[in-house]
Amino acid sequence: MVTFVEGPVRVSVPATSANLGPGFDSLGLALDLRDHLEGEVVAEGLVVEVTGAGSGAVPLDETHLVVRSMRAAFDLLGGQPAGLRLSCTNVVPHARGLGSSSAAIVGGVFLARSLVAGGALLLDDEALFRLAADLEGHPDNVAPAMRGGFVISGHQGDAFYAVDSSVDPRVSAVVFIAPTPVSTEVARGLLPAQVPHAEAAADAGRTALLVAALAGRPEHLWLATRDYLHQDYRRPAMPDSLELVDRLRADGVAAVISGAGPTVLAFSDGVASSGTEELLGRAPQGWQVLALAIDSDGVRLA
């Protein structure tokens, strides 16, 4: 019989940026922008409170993504609590390409495990990662949200894998957050079923170079972040974002669409002439701009 801990448990989980240009559905980076969750097992019922991003828009019942993720984890841990109280303080913007759904899923499964006595023995980190990837459908955001840092991930058959890779301490990010969202479904719907072999080969080369550039050769980030597989196809859904990417790249800045967009991520590497302060001044009117360090922790108790 499952035993639940007494009192509230607090966790935090970072934003993530997937793809990073050429690494479509395979590369992900955790960013130091965190959602905070608090959960507690109570006598009965379900209470969900949300402040910050998504407040007033997301459901406050069993269909809430964090709740659904917690329920899935509780099933694997041996049983559901009689009642549950959940409070979400959201900072990661929704539908902007910064991994808000992965943050909800990873935060939810980790919070559920933390509410069970001996939960980490019943459901280890690898099992928790598989569950989160199953719930999300792909691992490129959930892997860095769980592990922190820069992660190469994918799936082989029905199994998911994730491998950490190092990040040069000179590397940080500036994110330009568009005022209007773009859904992942819309962005994916613009992608063709096939791409030319030459473009696929070029993308593979840039992806390999990007791993090396992030690990210790940041002077190659501009070349390494050139994408051939997905960004230009998505231009009709986010023309302003791609226009900003074009302008930044024309000035030698390693800029990409973050995830499915419309957020634009630009690397600040301590090498190029365009440093963080200069980049912060290049946000279009009405956009939010943030300078973010690379998060090395992933999901954690808060």
Question: 62, 289, 77, 296: which is closest to 169 by C-alpha?
Answer: 296
- State the Cα–Cα distance between residues 101 and 229, nearest whole angstrom: 23
Residues 56-104: tens digit of each pLDDT? 999 999 999 999 999 999 999 999 999 999 999 999 999 999 999 999 9
95 is in an annotated binding site: yes
3-state secondary structure of 122: helix
165 is in an annotated binding site: no
Q: Is the pLDDT of residue 270 over 70?
A: no
73 is in an annotated binding site: no
Percent of the residues in the chain that have a pLDDT greater than 70, as a whole number: 98
What is the per-residue pLDDT for 278? Answer: 85
Percent of the residues in the chain that have a pLDDT greater than 90, as a whole number: 92
100 is in an annotated binding site: yes
Residue with tokens 């539908």, as numbered in its chain: 95
**Mean pLDDT computed over 187-212:** 94
103 is in an annotated binding site: yes
102 is in an annotated binding site: yes
The residue ranges of DSSP E strands in the chain, in sequence order, are 9-19, 23-42, 45-52, 83-90, 150-156, 159-165, 172-177, 255-257, 264-268, 288-292, 300-301
Q: Is the pLDDT of residue 272 over 90?
A: no
pTM of the model: 0.95
Strand partners, 264: 176, 257
**DSSP 8-state class, residue 275:** -
What is the per-residue pLDDT for 213? Answer: 97
Tokens of 245: 């990417």
What is the per-residue pLDDT for 271? Answer: 61
What is the per-residue pLDDT for 118? Answer: 96
What is the per-residue pLDDT for 158? Answer: 86
Domains defined for the chain, CATH in brackets: 9-165+296-301 (3.30.230.10), 172-292 (3.30.70.890)
Residues 21-48: tens digit of each pLDDT? 999 999 999 999 999 999 999 999 999 9
Question: 253, 243, 234, 204: which is closest to 22 by C-alpha?
Answer: 204
